[in-house]
Amino acid sequence: MEPGSGISSGWQNAIHPDDFERVADTWLAGLTTGKPCENEHRLKHYSGEYRWVLTRAQPAQSSDGTIFQWTGTSTDIHSLKTNERQKHLLLDEMEHRLKNLFTLIQSLVGQALLHADDLVAVKASIHARIVVIGEANAELLNDEWRSSSITSLTERALSPHRKGTGQFEISGPDFRLKPQQTLALSLAINLLATNAIKYGSLSQARGKVMIVWHRNENKGLFEFIWRERGGPQVHYPTKSGFGSQMIERVLASYFGGSSVLNFEPEGFEFKMSAPLNRIQI
């Protein structure tokens, strides 16, 4: 402000319009009661932006209690306010994520019990899936729950299923995936690996799994492929279980794409395609 322009009520011109009424009320209360006052508000910086300040006003009194002067300071607290706002946004986001997480766990447990024939097996299945969710969350925490590395999450999801070397061939550029995509893909990989060990290529010593993902620039797609080879002859299932529904429908919905399960005689194959703009790269 120009020298002298803040005298009398001129200082009010620098206050953010949305904060003016609150600041004016606080100052009027101070003048009326003679008590010190303070307020947090936005003040116009010489750059043109508004910055948060802590303004304090302290009265100076004569021996008979008459106020003859007010001394005021405005301290820049913009960084503190910005950090505080980011903290609240993060807490709100974490609350949202946790609700989604518990909803997912509730759904997994409910579906597992719905198809339960053997409670011991169901217990093991639920335990394994919750472990996968925990690992996926650990991966997300590396980036403050913003995104995860598809390479790292794939390795984490496969680690409990590795019985030897050469079982898995993994290739693809390192995409960054959003939180819900991370959870869904981690669960899908776990389910695919579990089925491969029970019924597919990993039930045979010479069997292996090829996992490939890439960018299809011509079609503007992200493609993820799980291909099994060297296992027993594949037969088309007579019914679709929870695992198949999770892999084929739920996973695709989180990526905003489509997926297909191919039960070819030489080996099972899963393929998902999603628009590149739905992937956080």
User: What are the extents of the domains in the chain?
Assistant: 10-76, 81-278
The reported pLDDT for the residue numbered 281 is 53
d(CA 184, CA 252): 9
CB atoms within 10 A of CB 150: 24
Tokens of residue 189, six digits:
């990989």
Q: What is the largest CA-CA distance in the chain?
A: 102
- What does 134-203 look like in DSSP terms, one character per residue? HHHHHHHHTTTTS-EEHHHHHHHHHGGG--STTSEEEE----EE-HHHHHHHHHHHHHHHHHHHHTSGGG
pLDDT in tens, 67-113: 999 999 989 999 888 888 777 766 666 666 666 666 666 666 666 66
Q: Note whether 255 and 272 are within 8 A (CB).
A: yes
Checking phi first, is residue 267 left (phi over 0); if not, alpha (psi -120 to 50) or beta? left
Q: Note whether 251 and 201 are within 8 A (CB).
A: no
Task: Give the chain's length.
Answer: 281
Q: Note whether 271 and 213 are within 8 A (CB).
A: no
* Res. 15: pLDDT tops 70: yes
pLDDT in tens, 215-262: 888 888 999 999 999 999 888 877 666 567 667 777 888 888 998 889
d(CA 256, CA 63): 75
CATH class, 10-76 region: alpha beta
d(CA 153, CA 159): 10
Which has the higher per-residue pLDDT, 138 or 219? 219
Q: Note whether 29 and 37 are within 8 A (CB).
A: yes
CATH second-level architecture of 81-278? 2-Layer Sandwich (3.30)
The reported pLDDT for the residue numbered 2 is 79
**pTM value?**
0.57
The reported pLDDT for the residue numbered 242 is 57
d(CA 222, CA 276): 5
Percentage of the chain lying above the pLDDT 70 cut: 77
d(CA 116, CA 120): 9
pLDDT in tens, 118-131: 677 667 767 667 76
Mean pLDDT, rounded, for 165-177: 88
pLDDT in tens, 30-78: 999 999 999 999 999 888 899 999 999 999 999 888 999 999 998 999 9
Burial class (CB in 10 A: 0-12, 13-18, 19+), 188: buried
Helix H or strand E segment including 258:
strand 258-264
